[in-house]
Structure 1
Amino acid sequence: MRRVYLDHSATTPVDPEVAELMVKYLTDTFGNPSSVHSFGREAKKGLEEAREKVAALMGARPDEIVFTSGGTEADNLAIMGTAFANRNKGNHIITSAIEHHAVLDTCENLKKHGFEVTFLPVDADGLVKVEDVAEAITDKTILITIMHANNEVGTIQPIEEIGRLAQEKGIIFHTDAVQTYGRIPVNVDKLNVNLLSASSHKIYGPKGVGCLYIRKGTRIQPIAFGGGQERKRRPGTENMPGIVGFGKAAELAGKRMQEEMERLTKLRDKLIDGVLNRIDDVQLNGHRTKRLPGHVNFSFHYIEGESLLLSLDMKGIAASSGSACTSGSLDPSHVLLAMGIPHEIAHGSVRMTLGKDNTEEDIDYVLEVLPGIVERLRSMSPLYQRKEACKHKECYQNV
């Protein structure tokens, strides 16, 4: 049976070149980079080379990169670190209703510490309006945090314009770029950001390592204590195999990005057009063009997304119902609900995200088996049966 992996927004396989370098730092170059002897100096050299590679891919300076355990910790450090360091200036934070829970839950936690949070709405395409950001700003606003691209529907936000607004108002601006870094061009100066979160395992690097870009001069305080590593921003002995793997993945992503963007966009559009043309009562979620190159999200009316995922898995196709961090929840996606998609339709949603090993034959296979799966599941759906029975009757409008 053919196996097709379409869940690259959840995680990516480690690139062989990345794995090869990591093994070296698991065995031969095993020193602690804080040690002064030769073993430590060798590790320190690898640490700083990785920092340079990670920084280069976002147009940053190496000394502006702080390594973390992943995107979630980077988001926590950015938001909590900024909030507590700038509390004397204000207590208001602006974010959006469709952020990753690493941002939403952190903001909710800060409310317990006396901070006020504005959760901005999005339009039907999942876009934040710049004018809504402007209207939400008060004289107490100290931080704006809006994701670069949404992990569930792939919509790319107007970060450059929001960043420009934040600059004009003197407000610190953070973006969660976990889904964009290494996949589309990301430049911290062009985006006008003070803080940017990124993760290794989204770009064919290892899990458990990420980074936070902190623009020089940005006030932020640590949220963990116990050491002087990472310029006292994030204590703890550095995860050397993970960090050098992240660096190598960033280097490879920079070399391959343009070609992969073009290739994945073509595959993405073939998948979108194929599904919409072959299957009735299905909608594409997210902006049609302002979306990540390899990202699609569909809502199939009258069926449950979980049933569809299980059926796809039986055919060797791996997809998801949304964020991998909330896949165990029975609740519909907060992102889709915020976009105005009805509860019952949101429940029938599936995310398919492409990567470097996907081919046109993979898309052909999905388009071959998906219509039959949908037809079979709908044949067991009372709602669909009623819709079919009422197709030419007045009662259809109430289905």
Structure 2
Amino acid sequence: MPRHSDPIYLDYNAGAPLRPAVRDVMIEVLGEAGNASSVHGHGRNARGRIEQAREQVARLCNARSRAVTFVSGGTEANMTALTPVWQDQGAPVYLDKLFRSAVEHPSVATGGRFATADQVVLPVDAAGRVRLDQLEETVRDAGPGLISVMAANNETGVVQPLAEIGAIAASYGHFFHVDAVQAAGRMTIDPDAWQADVITLSAHKMGGPQGAGAVVARSTARVPSALMVGGGQENWRRGGTENVAAIAGFGSAGVSALEEAADTRHLTGMKARLEAGLRAVCPSAVFFGEDADRLANTCCFAVPGIAAETALIAFDLERVSISSGSACSSGKVGVSHVLTAMGVEEELARCALRVSLGWSTDEQDVDRFLELWPRIVERLDPEARHRAA
């Protein structure tokens, strides 16, 4: 049980703490010699570690193990997927456009290997979900392209209607990529149900090591062209000597994440109590995506008049780590492009805070946050406790 002097981590969407089981397997692998491309015993042992992890990550994604390609993280995974050149049944296919939502992670919003002129931004509704009618209208008469939509938003936790988007992509002959980085361990991942050609993952979001990710194809006959070339590693889909320890840790984290995704009730309960406590102190609190399907672990909210930057500092001084949104902006606190796309006014968007729970969060962590919240509100804006919703 944490004491008041212990730091509390509530920023799992930025990165989860390393699981003890993951640390153990990584230390074990780091003590072993061998390049996985070597044919001797040490090399075969390293290869075995990678293939075991490949099976573990494949199970997490309801995919075949040969469909899993290990890369250096979520950004490289997305860069690999976002290419206008694919291989389909052994023949190259050239895609005309990238259709991506307005609320994508920066690693997708930059467009990957698509030229800026070949990118189309898809609007979202007030909850941050892709507008299916406009998606269909946009792609109906377009040449073959790639639709890229995240499974769940890193800032708000809002889950996209992936099966419906996949059906539209299939109906009009487009390829479909799902960034499932935030989904792993928090919801079921199923490329078949989504009709997704490829999904992407990052190990450190699920309690694995930083610097490991994966591209998972629904079919090994339909894959994006390689980003990293120069070697035959990863079935020729990603050149470079594999990081065996990180990959082994990724596999171990995948096993735990699969178990946790099957039952998220404890996270749902803690989030509900957290949000009720926030609203009890500040009736004017706004919860973004509240009426949409959200991840069980994510709460993104704002209290008008309490700037996110000031609140973050106040919590940090109390040794509680939360966020103002995405952690991929060089530590800067600015206006969220996600909230802007949802139609949130800039003044309110500058007040947005994100609390994200995970595998080691317990009730005492939530208790401590709710104990601090009224004190911080009183210090920053006493009137906030009396403003109506």
TM-score above 0.5, yes or no: yes
Q: Which residue of 1 aligns with 2:359?
A: 356
1:324 aligns with 2:331: no
2:275 match? 272
For the residues of structure 2 that align with 1:83 and 1:277, how far apart are their CA atoms?
A: 52
Cα drift, residue 361 of structure 1? 2.2
Q: CA deviation at 1:330?
A: 4.3
Alignment partner, residue 123 of structure 1:
125
Counterpart of 1:134? 136
Which of the residues 194, 203, 214 maps onto 2:206?
203
Larger Rg belongs to:
1
- Is 1:228 matched with 2:232? yes
Q: Once the two structures are superposed, what CA deviation does each residue of 1:256-303 show, in whole Å capped at 9, x if it has no partner? A: 3333x1100000111111111221322001234510111000112112
| Structure 1 residues 215-364: aligned runs within 5 Å | 215-216=218-219, 217-259=221-263, 261-326=264-329, 328-364=331-367
Aligned to 1:144: 147
CA distance in 2, matches of 1:88, 1:57: 29
Please list the CA deviations of residues 135-187 of structure 1 after superposition, one character each: whole Å capped at 9, or x if unmatched. Answer: 11033241100000000000000011111111122211000000002221111
Kindly state the Cα deviation for residue 88 of structure 1 after the two structures are TM-superposed: 6.0
1:49-88 aligned within 5 A: 49-80=52-83, 82=85
**Partner in structure 1 of residue 101 of structure 2:** 96
Name the structure 1 match of 2:372: 369
SS at match of 2:82: helix
Distance in 1 (alpha carbons) for counterparts of 2:330 and 2:355: 14
Amino acid at match of 2:196: V
Residue deviations 1:172-212 (CA, integer Å, cap 9, x gap):
10000000022211111112100100111111111100100
Q: Distance in 2 between matches of 1:149 and 1:82?
A: 26
Mark the CA change 1:376 to 1:87 in structure 2 (over 3 Å): closer, same or farther: farther
Q: 2: CA distance between counterparts of 1:269 and 1:327?
A: 31
Q: Return closer, same or farther for 1:111/1:220 CA change in 2, 3 Å cut-off.
A: same
Name the counterpart of 1:31: 34
Q: Is the 8 A contact 1:83 1:143 kept in 2?
A: no
Matched, 1:169 2:172: yes
Structure (1/2) with the larger helix percentage: 1
Output the amino acid matched with 2:229: F
Q: What SS is found at the alignment partner of 1:52?
A: helix
Q: Is the 8 A contact 1:126 1:287 kept in 2?
A: no
Deviates more, 1:67-76 or 1:90-99: 90-99
My pick for the range that moved more, 47-56 or 278-287, is 278-287
| Partner amino acid, structure 1, of 2:73 | G
Q: Aligned match of 1:378 in 356, 377, 381?
A: 381
**Cα deviation, residue 327, structure 1:** 5.2
C-alpha displacement of 1:328: 2.6
CA distance in 2, matches of 1:22, 1:281: 46
Q: Confirm whether residue 182 of structure 1 aligns to residue 185 of structure 2.
A: yes
Q: Is 2:73–2:213's contact at 8 Å kept on the other side of the alignment?
A: yes
Which digits, 9 at most, give the CA deviation of each residue in 1:313-351, with x for residues without a partner? 111211001111115334311001111111111111110
Distance 2:56 2:273 in 1: 33
SS at match of 1:324: coil
Which 4+ residue blocks in structure 1 deviate beyond 3 angstroms? Answer: 81-90
Q: How many pairs are equivalent?
A: 380
Please state how far the C-alpha of 1:23 moved relative to its aligned partner.
1.0
| 1:105 counterpart (92, 97, 110) | 110
| Contact 2:69/2:216 (8 A) holds in 1 | yes
Rounded to whole Å, the distance in 1 between the matches of 2:359 and 2:59 is 21
**TM-score for the superposition, normalised by structure 1:** 0.90
Greater Cα offset, 54-63 or 127-136? 127-136
Letter paired with 2:134? D
Q: 1:350-381: per-residue Cα shift (whole Å, max 9, x none)? A: 100011222222212211211221222125xx
One-letter amino acid of the counterpart of residue 46, structure 2: A
SS at structure 1 position matched to 2:250: helix
Distance 2:92 2:374 in 1: 54
- Superposition deviation, residue 90 in structure 1: 4.2
How many Å separate the matches in 2 of 1:315 and 1:154? 25
- CA distance in 1: counterparts of 2:381 and 2:16, whole angstroms: 32
**For residue 356 of structure 2, what is the amino acid of its counterpart?**
T
For structure 1, which runs of at least 5 residues remain unmatched after alignment? Answer: 393-399
- SS of 2:302's equivalent in the other structure is strand
- Relative to structure 1, the CA distance from residue 240 to residue 338 in structure 2 (aligned partners, 3 Å threshold; closer, same or farther) is same
Identity %: 37
Partner in structure 2 of residue 395 of structure 1:
none
- Unaligned runs of 5+ residues in structure 2 are none
Q: Counterpart of 2:19?
A: 15
2:35 and 2:241 in contact (8 A); partners too:
yes
